[in-house]
Amino acid sequence: MSADEIKALYLRELHKIAPEVDLNEIDPAVDLREQIDLDSMDILNLAVAIHEATGVDIPEADYPQMTTVNGCIAYLGAR
Amino acid sequence: MADFLMPSLGADMEFGTVLQWLVKPGDAVKRGDIVAVVDTEKATIEVEIFQTGVVQKIVVPEGEKVPVGTLLAVLAVNGEAPAAAPPEAKPKPAAPPPPKAVAAPPPPPPVIAKPPAPKPAAPHRLHVSPLAMRIALDLKVDLATVTGTGPDGAITKADVERAAKAPKAPAPPVEVKPAAPTPAGAPAKPAIAPIDHHAAMRKVIAAAMARSKREIPHYYLGTQIDMSRAMAWLTAENLKRPVTERLLYSVLLIKAVALAIKEVPELNGFWIDGAFKRSEAVHVGVAISIRQGGLIAPAIHDVEKKSLSEIMVNLRDLVKRVRAGVLRSSEIADATITVTSLGEQGVETVFGVIYPPQVALVGFGKIVERPWASGGMVGARPVVMASLSGDHRASDGHRGGLFLAAVDRLLQEPEKL
């Protein structure tokens, strides 16, 4: 997957989890837990959704890398 | 014949609006079926029916707001021949006056636009009614592209449906709305003003919490719990599980509370009419925050009988539906004790306010690494502060202390939870 495809996937799944958030204003470098108040359940759901879309198994220890848009692009790009 | 009334979905609900009927006259229904969708101040609720029978008549049409206890529909129960149409006694309260066309306020004096605040600025939050949010999800409408026509520019169901029908145009760049409203040519108000859930929810929380502090003599206890065994077990367990079946540590806490409550049952139930009514079932209300503000504590039913995996499935489903704004009536109305975990916001201790008519609230803070002395040695351990807010009319601090000790003991054997 290209970086753009990963980003689009991530934002699409984020929109399902936090539909009230304006995706145009997301800073891809900032932790979403601080930026839009995501909690551990949201991060887990994001990991599940990305797993289901890509087949990549994301161990729990790697969840911290899923909390920014850029982090997820780097993580999935390397897998 | 049985009456189906507007249920009370929480201590402070006075009115509900029938948004949608999912049944029509002649339909057979059984206990537990979702028959209607009702909008309350706090959320959109799927209302379950408590009797089995055949719907004979729908009394309150969709879109009507009625007080709790109003006859919504009539059921013919068990073998009862559908009787002649019941008398047209329609206890219809006066319809709310149509929203007045309010003259636009005089324009505020022009202000010099302030430069944008320095980073980190939180992203702009859209103001969306829960129902609109759910519909947007169903219709795959990007809320960022929808123009809200509700109060304060809130996006309503109608706005979403309009956007869904509109031809797919490339999304226009989203403009950050100017702070000052445009006074001239203000958009016409829609015919039915949607509920402003945010403001309404604040009112409901205010009423419940004021009642709690007015009526309930709270006592507060707290104890630190060593979480090293629980967390080590959880990490190992999650390694074995696929991503879709992993557990969050809150599930261990919820289960431990439900088991501990069986040992101290005077914390589980309701204070009603000057007396404690104990509940045999343990329905744990889980406080779930709504990101735009406010919270709801819907119940996970019969927690003590469920496996950790089952509780996790329930919790996940609840969080999803709270945030989408759709809950079921049984979840809203019948929690017998509430658990709140504010740990994720970084606080270590919660001094909770009991949700009446419940008689106890259990709080968990953040899990932090702390020096911990054990067996004459000091080591670093993950530690959580568990607190209990108890209603002193129903229980005493001694018993509350036994409860927290039981929670601690149960968390030391996570594999048995």
What pLDDT score does B32 carry?
83
Q: What is the mean pLDDT of residues B172-186?
A: 42
Residues ≥6 apart with Cβ < 8 Å to B177: B153
What is the maximum alpha-carbon separation in chain B? 81
Quote the mean pLDDT of chain B: 80
Which domain range does residue A47 map to? Answer: 3-78
CA B192 – CA B62 distance, rounded (Å)? 12
- Between B352 and B179, the more confident residue is B352
pLDDT band at B295 (very low <50, low <70, confident <90, very high): confident
The yes-or-no verdict on residue B213 having pLDDT over 90 is: yes
Mark yes or no for CB contact B122/A51 under 8 Å: no
Q: What is the pLDDT of residues B304-341, one digit of tens each?
A: 999 999 999 999 988 888 877 777 877 777 899 999 98
What pLDDT score does B171 carry?
43
CA B74 – CA B53 distance, rounded (Å)? 10
Residues of chain B with pLDDT > 70, as a percent, come to 75
CA B404 – CA B417 distance, rounded (Å)? 16
List Cβ<8 Å contacts ≥24 apart for A34-39: A34/B120, A35/B120, A35/B122, A35/B123, A36/B122, A36/B123, A36/B291, A37/B289, A37/B291, A38/A67, A39/B289, A39/B344
Mark yes or no for CB contact B248/A59 under 8 Å: no
What pLDDT score does B250 carry?
94
User: C-alpha angle B368/B373/B379, rounded to 5°?
Assistant: 60
Q: Which residues of B touch A40 (CB under 8 A)?
A: 248, 250, 344
Q: Which residues of A touch B125 (CB under 8 A)?
A: 20-22
In CATH, what number is assigned to the domain containing residue A25? 1.10.1200.10
What pLDDT score does B135 carry?
72
Q: What is the mean pLDDT of residues B331-354?
A: 87
Q: What is the mean pLDDT of residues B52-80?
A: 88
Q: What is the mean pLDDT of residues B76-85?
A: 62
The active-site residue, picked from B197, B198, B301, B392, is B392
What pLDDT score does B153 carry?
66
- Paired with B74 in beta bridges are B3, B57
What pLDDT score does B416 carry?
94
Mark yes or no for CB contact A57/B128 under 8 Å: no
> Nearest-CA distance from B295 to chain A in Å?
14
Q: Which residues of A touch B237 (CB under 8 A)?
A: none
What pLDDT score does B415 carry?
95
- Paired with B17 in beta bridges are B39, B65
Assign 3-class secondary structure to chain B.
CEEEECCCCCCCCCEEEEEEECCCCCCEECCCCEEEEEECCCCEEEEECCCCEEEEEECCCCCCEEECCCEEEEEEECCCCCCCCCCCCCCCCCCCCCCCCCCCCCCCCCCCCCCCCCCCCCCCECCECHHHHHHHHHHCCCHHHCCCCCHHHCECHHHHHHHHHCCCCCCCCCCCCCCCCCCCCCCCCCCCCCCCHHHHHHHHHHHHHHHHHHHCCEEEEEEEEECHHHHHHHHHHHHHCCHHHCCCHHHHHHHHHHHHHHHCHHHCEEEECCEEEECCCCCEEECEECCCCCEECCEECCHHHCCHHHHHHHHHHHHHHHHHCEEEHHHHHCCCEEEEECHHHCCCCCCCCCCCCECEEEEECCCEEEEEEECCEEEEEEEEEEEEEEECCCCCHHHHHHHHHHHHHHHCCHHHC
Task: Kindly tell me the sign of the dihedral angle through the C-alpha atoms of B301, B306, B311, B317.
Answer: negative
What pLDDT score does B126 carry?
61
Residues ≥6 apart with Cβ < 8 Å to B401: B221, B223
pLDDT band at B349 (very low <50, low <70, confident <90, very high): very high
Number of domains in chain A: 1
Q: What is the mean pLDDT of residues B49-63?
A: 90
The two tokens of residue A62 are 């790697």
For residue B278, how many C-alpha atoms fall within 13 Å in the half-sphere facing its CB? 10
- Residue in B136, B243, B344 closest to A48 by CB: B243
Q: Which residues of B touch A27 (CB under 8 A)?
A: 119-120, 123
pLDDT band at B124 (very low <50, low <70, confident <90, very high): low
Q: Which residues of B touch A15 (CB under 8 A)?
A: 142
What pLDDT score does B123 carry?
52
For residue A5, how many C-alpha atoms fall within 13 Å in the half-sphere facing its CB? 7
Residues of chain B with pLDDT > 90, as a percent, come to 46
What pLDDT score does B86 carry?
44
What pLDDT score does B302 carry?
96
Residues ≥6 apart with Cβ < 8 Å to B47: B7, B9, B34, B35, B36, B37, B38, B328, B329
In a mutational test of the A interface, the residue from B291, B309, B340 whose CB has the highest number of chain A CBs within 10 Å is B291
Q: Quick one: which of B266, B251, B404 has its CA closest to B336?
A: B266
Q: Is 3.30.559.10 the CATH number for B217-416?
A: yes
Mark yes or no for CB contact B244/A51 under 8 Å: yes
Q: What is the pLDDT of residues B7-34, one digit of tens each?
A: 887 766 788 889 889 999 999 998 888 8
Q: Quick one: which of B72, B88, B92 has its CA closest to B4?
A: B72
In a mutational test of the B interface, the residue from A11, A20, A27, A63 whose CB has the highest number of chain B CBs within 10 Å is A20
Q: Which residue of A has its CA nearest to B138?
A: A16
Mark yes or no for CB contact A18/B122 under 8 Å: no
> Nearest-CA distance from B300 to chain A in Å?
16
pLDDT band at B395 (very low <50, low <70, confident <90, very high): very high
CATH number of B2-77: 2.40.50.100
In a mutational test of the A interface, the residue from B323, B341, B366 whose CB has the highest number of chain A CBs within 10 Å is B323
Does the active-site annotation cover B197?
Answer: no
> Nearest-CA distance from A47 to chain B in Å?
7
Where along chain B do the CATH 2.40.50.100 domains lie?
2-77
Chain B residues contacting A via beta carbons under 8 Å: 119-120, 122-126, 128, 133, 136-137, 142-144, 173-174, 235, 238-239, 242-244, 246, 248, 250, 289, 291-292, 315-316, 319-320, 323-324, 344
Do B205 and B295 meet the contact criterion of CB atoms below 8 Å apart? yes
What pLDDT score does B222 carry?
97
CA B270 – CA B360 distance, rounded (Å)? 9
The yes-or-no verdict on residue B262 having pLDDT over 60 is: yes
What is the maximum alpha-carbon separation in chain A? 31
The yes-or-no verdict on residue B176 having pLDDT over 70 is: no
pLDDT band at B93 (very low <50, low <70, confident <90, very high): very low
Where along chain B do the CATH 3.30.559.10 domains lie?
217-416
Residue numbers of chain A with a pLDDT score lower than 50: none
Of B97-101, B127-131, B405-409, the one with minimum mean pLDDT is: B97-101
Do B104 and B133 meet the contact criterion of CB atoms below 8 Å apart? no
pLDDT band at B81 (very low <50, low <70, confident <90, very high): low
> What is the pairing mode between strands B28-29 and B295-296?
unpaired
Mark yes or no for CB contact A25/B124 under 8 Å: yes
